Chains A and B, each alone.
Chain A
């Protein structure tokens, strides 16, 4: 079959050009093995708190199985706006400035498609969540990565940001606390970045899905900084802090014209988020705080354990102040991040994600998620230490042979 007969000819060129997620091949390898302890999971290991699951059941019992307003139920939007005001310091009108989305993933897609024209540039920071650059490309715009590095604790360096801005730059996409590094921004860093956004008249789309999982430092959203409310789309959801990934519930808050533009796309594509999930989200945000904080405390204890063990193995990593990831530097192993992850999996049955899956600058690092039972994490760290010590012994031997 030649190219003109192949079904490939139907695929849009900008989609055909999208790279497959770098994690996909590794995922297949992990799934083919038994007795694996996975530190490769980007979702909480906790079940959704029972009171939230019970609210879901009640919604079903009452027959809440219909469509809702395209924006989402008013009760949830009011609850979200109160929560965002109290927790993150930005106030929005639930009637016009809040849209309930199918997770932050949909919110991000809507925001990008609503504002981007072909040729526009979007600055984002790497290493980052795998979907950012593809999402920008799918919106027919150009993704422009700015590298963050271990020396800056993976925070966005304002000078590097400034250097990446061109006259085509329209959007700055932020994700702090960050997946995969666990990095957060200090008050001062948020202020500096917000000043640059104002100076260059950028729209900021901020994915703050891990906001509650900030262990030290303030959780004020950048949307609450001077001059930012008018130029920020705040994306947040319940997947991570409330362990509700499968509910697919997120929310976008921003100036009414932008929310209205996003709503147009949402109403013609997704229509609305699941009502059952919206009911559960109301329960989570109104009454789920105690259980959310209990989960957060457990993440904190796991983080302490993982950071101490990795540094003891010689894989230096900062003590991240957010999310549930650590991003150790494994370059001393002499292996690429993909090779390191493959051998660790095959030899010790521990899954971590190669850093290169989160951007080229993630080479030399791996992502370890501590969203796993602490007993499993302890075993995984012991296995990883054995692996590290074998590599240390092997490296000089190999070096002497080649010399």
Chain B
């Protein structure tokens, strides 16, 4: 059993678990869990913690777009220079290099449709190394990071069975 991986796996599902809770589940002392988490934070393995919140919780729900980007590769560094440059924009939440008909897949967030359009037009498309973009605006979210946005109705089981 790889305890560090087991701890990180549990945190990925629920970052609010206490060291005591994790320790009980993995049969490891809570102090050891705390030390492993501290080390993972220090070495950058844990990049941060956030809550998964329904968009509808906010008065202004925002606009999300998946943007495909075709990249002119650089002689030094391949896709990395463009990917890094794209990643620095605060509007961009996710950047992935992917196989297929395009190279980078971004998730971009804005307050309005116009915000996202402006970002693509004035910031992304004008970036050196970006050849072509194609934007897909999100209409509705069904599942995010392993969580359904709408749970199925609960089916109650028998409370005592042999």
Contact = CB atoms under 8 A, between A and B. Distances in A.
Interface of A: 21, 23, 26-27, 30-31, 36, 38, 40-43, 45, 47, 129-131, 179, 301-302, 304-305, 308-309, 351, 353, 357, 374, 378
**What are the 3 tightest A-B residue pairs by CB atom distance, in nearest-first order?**
A301-B25, A40-B160, A304-B27
Contact of A38 (B10, B25, B159): B159
30 contacts: A21-B162, A23-B162, A27-B158, A30-B160, A31-B159, A31-B160, A38-B159, A38-B160, A40-B159, A40-B160, A41-B157, A41-B159, A41-B160, A41-B161, A42-B161, A42-B162, A43-B158, A43-B161, A129-B162, A130-B162, A131-B162, A301-B26, A302-B25, A304-B25, A304-B26, A305-B25, A308-B24, A353-B160, A353-B162, A378-B21
Interface in B107-162: 155, 157-162
Given A351-B160, A357-B162, 20 more contacts: A21-B162, A23-B160, A23-B162, A26-B160, A27-B158, A27-B159, A30-B160, A31-B160, A42-B161, A130-B162, A301-B10, A301-B26, A304-B24, A304-B25, A305-B24, A305-B25, A308-B27, A351-B159, A353-B162, A378-B21
A36 B159 contact: yes
A45 B21 CA distance: 20
B50 to A, nearest CB: 20
A27 B161 CA distance: 8
Interface residues of B, number: 13
A176 B30 CA distance: 33
B84 to A, nearest CB: 34
- Of B21, B25, B157, B160, the most chain A CB neighbours within 10 A belong to B160
Nearest to B9: A297
A226 B25 CA distance: 38
Contacts of B25: 301-302, 304-305, 374
A35 B27 CA distance: 29
Contacts of B10: 301
Interface in B1-54: 10, 21, 24-27
A104 B153 CA distance: 30
A374 B155 CA distance: 18
B21 A41 contact: no
B1 to A, nearest CB: 10
B17 to A, nearest CB: 10
A279 B159 CA distance: 29
A40 B25 CA distance: 20
A27 B159 CA distance: 7
Contacts of B24: 304-305, 308-309
A378 B25 CA distance: 10
A309 B27 CA distance: 11
A269 B154 CA distance: 35
A357 B26 CA distance: 31
Contacts of B157: 41, 43, 45
A354 to B, nearest CB: 11
A132 B56 CA distance: 54
A40 B27 contact: no
A131 B162 CA distance: 9
A276 B160 CA distance: 27
A304 B33 CA distance: 15
